[in-house]
Structures are given as C-alpha cells and as structure tokens.
Copies of this chain bind each other. A is one copy, B any other.
Amino acid sequence: MSRLDETFALVAIDSVSGNESAIASVVESALRQNPHLDVERIGDNVVARTTGLHRTRLLVAGHLDTVPGDPATSTNDGDRVTGLGACDMKGSLAVMLELARDQEPRPVEVTWVFYAREEIARAQSGLLEIGELRPDLLQADAAVLAEPTGGVVEAGCQGTLRVVVEMRGLRAHTARPFTGVNALHRLGELLSRVASYEPRVVEIDGVSYTEQLQAGAVEGGIAPNVVPDFARCTLNHRVAPDRSREEAMTWLVEFLGDVLDDGDNVDVADWAPSCPPALTNERLGALVALTGRPARAKVGWTDVATFRELGIAATNFGAGDPLLAHRSDEFVAAGELDQFAAVLREWLR
C-alpha cells in the first residue's frame, strides 16, 4: 500500500476527539503483526517499542484524533489526499506506521507513540494518560512530534489559554429594549475588540513567535421576544514562551478593558504551557540539519510542552502544511510524505 493509500485509509476512519477507539484498534493490529515491536495499548493510545540493547532511544509521537468534520468526503487523486485529518496528522501517522514496521537494523531503539484526544482540552490528553499510567513507556533521549510542519523543524511551542467571558445585561421585552441592557449587544463590543487585536511578535533564540487572540464560541439568548441578560464567549489566546499563564491573563483583561463590566466574569477554562526551543539538544540539532532548512517557531500549542515536562527534549517535525490544519480543505501531498519519511528514516539511523 502506498503512503497516500495508507493515509487515505486512516482518513476514512472517523476519529474525532473522544472517538479514537476504532483507529487505535487498526493501528494496534497493524503493529502487533511485527515481532520486533513490543506493543502496548493503554485506553485508546498505542505504544510500540523496539526492545534491543542500544543505549540511545528516540521517540516519535502523533495523535490519532481530528477536529470535528466529515471523514466521508475525502479523496485520493494519486498526488494528494484531501479530507478531514489528512494534513493534521494522518499523513504523518501513515509514515510512522511504515517506519515502525520496517525491520532494517538501526543503531538506536525507537518508541512509536499513537495517542488520543490531542485536539480538545489538555486535561483529557491521551499522552498525559500514558504519562500517568505508564511513564516508563515514554522514556527517551529525544522526541519528534509529527505534527504538520511542512517538512521543516518547528521549534518549541506557544502556550494556549482558553478563557470564558460571561457578560451580564438586564432582561427586557424586545419591544421596549430601553428598559434593559442587551448582553448580546455588549458581546458585539467584545467581539469587535477581539477582532481588532494586533499580534505581538517575540523573538527567542533566533526563533520568532507570533501570538494570537481569537473568539472560539459564543452563546446567548432566552426567548424570541426577550432582551437577553447573559452572553458567553470563549476566547483562545496563543501565548509566546516568554509569558506565563498569569502574565497572559493580566494582559488579556487589560486588553479587553472597558468592554468588561463589574458584573462580568473572565475565567480560565484551559491552559497548556508554552515550550521554548530545544535546538541545543544534539539529536534535535541533527534533525534540523537533515531537513536542510533552518528551524522556525511553532505558533500553535503542541505536546512538545508535555515532553518538556517529562524531561525529554522534543521538537515538531511532520508532513503537511501547518497552515492547512483544521481547515475544511486540508490535504497532504505524496511529495510531503516522501520527504518526511526520508528525513525521519535518516534521523533514526
């Protein structure tokens, strides 16, 4: 089966976050056929390890889940696979499966990690689940996280802060709105303020991080003829590695400023910490050299931050254009899979 065919087969399996049982079984089954691998299933996560005696162990990890969408509308035209999760990150998973099954002798041990629930709140992460139940399986000297990076190393990652803003108003009849305060009209101010945000750019170790602020969800409304006294908005703030959660929150509340009233709430719903570049690590430096291109910053949050918490130097490197991730027209091309496979194969030598 070609890399595109393997990618297409993985895309066809619905694996929206929380629904990874089927794809985990397919991956587990494919890996268990290989006697040189020790395969463990932990919930909907699968870990496969070579068990030789080499001193160095390298780890390659990828998540099995996708954001919500329709896996049924995917296509494979022989040059590219288009469809939900093609780019983020089933193309890379297909290459990982291929190299995991490859029995060529290597001078290092390799751990392959396929994990669940990366695209939702971090507390539910399958990687954290493995880290809690079987931390021994994650031990390694360096790790590659195969998120889509366009075939270059994307170093570190930005933190991600999810905040829920609850705005108050005063209920009234929609025919006499002047007797109340419409919380949705106040929400309009909030959304317009967020839309006016100009990203802060931070340079760390020669790598440039661009922060972001986006509205992710809104809700509000009581009945067709009632001026609503409540509106809720979820914001997502991407935070460069030079700011902590507290510093990011302080900035955000200041930025929203007079849009907020005393009766409103601004609460942290989720925080995943940032990770500075780790390119001084010899193995990761070698990976950058193998790609033949300079490293750049990872602007999204990734589990390199989780590996950092586990004391393992990790970086992002995978097939597919990161700009296509989470878009309805995402795809991965055959050439991208080939380049990723060639560099990764060389790195594991």
Residues of A within 8 A of B (CB): 17, 67-68, 88, 119-121, 158, 160, 162, 170-177, 179-180, 182, 184-185, 187-192, 194-195, 212, 214-229, 231, 233-234, 236, 238, 270, 299-301, 322-328
Q: Which residues of B contact A221 (CB under 8 A)?
A: 216-219, 234
Across the interface, do B223 and A220 meet the contact criterion of CB distance under 8 Å?
Answer: no
Across the interface, do A220 and B220 meet the contact criterion of CB distance under 8 Å?
Answer: no
Number of copies: 2
Please judge, given known A-B contacts A218-B231, A236-B224, whether A327 and B180 are in contact too, CB under 8 Å. Answer: yes
Q: Which residues of B contact A322 (CB under 8 A)?
A: 173, 176
Q: Which residues of B contact A215 (CB under 8 A)?
A: 182, 184-185, 188, 228
Known: A174-B300, A217-B220. 11 other contacts (CB 8 A): A173-B322, A173-B327, A175-B299, A177-B212, A179-B327, A182-B195, A184-B216, A187-B188, A191-B192, A192-B192, A227-B326
Across the interface, do A195 and B191 meet the contact criterion of CB distance under 8 Å?
Answer: no
- Cβ-closest 6 pairs across A and B: A217-B221, A188-B191, A175-B300, A185-B195, A184-B215, A188-B192
Q: Which residues of B contact A217 (CB under 8 A)?
A: 184, 220-222, 224, 228
Across the interface, do A222 and B184 meet the contact criterion of CB distance under 8 Å?
Answer: no
Q: Summarize A's interface: helix, strand, loop or mixed.
A: mixed
Q: Which residues of B contact A187 (CB under 8 A)?
A: 188, 191, 218
Across the interface, do A214 and B327 meet the contact criterion of CB distance under 8 Å?
Answer: no
Please judge, given known A-B contacts A176-B323, A179-B323, whether A119 and B225 are in contact too, CB under 8 Å. Answer: yes
Across the interface, do A185 and B174 meet the contact criterion of CB distance under 8 Å?
Answer: no
**Which residue of B119, B160, B188, B223 contacts A195 across the interface (Cβ within 8 Å)?**
B188
Q: Give the distance to chain B from A159, nearest Cβ to Cβ, in Å.
A: 11
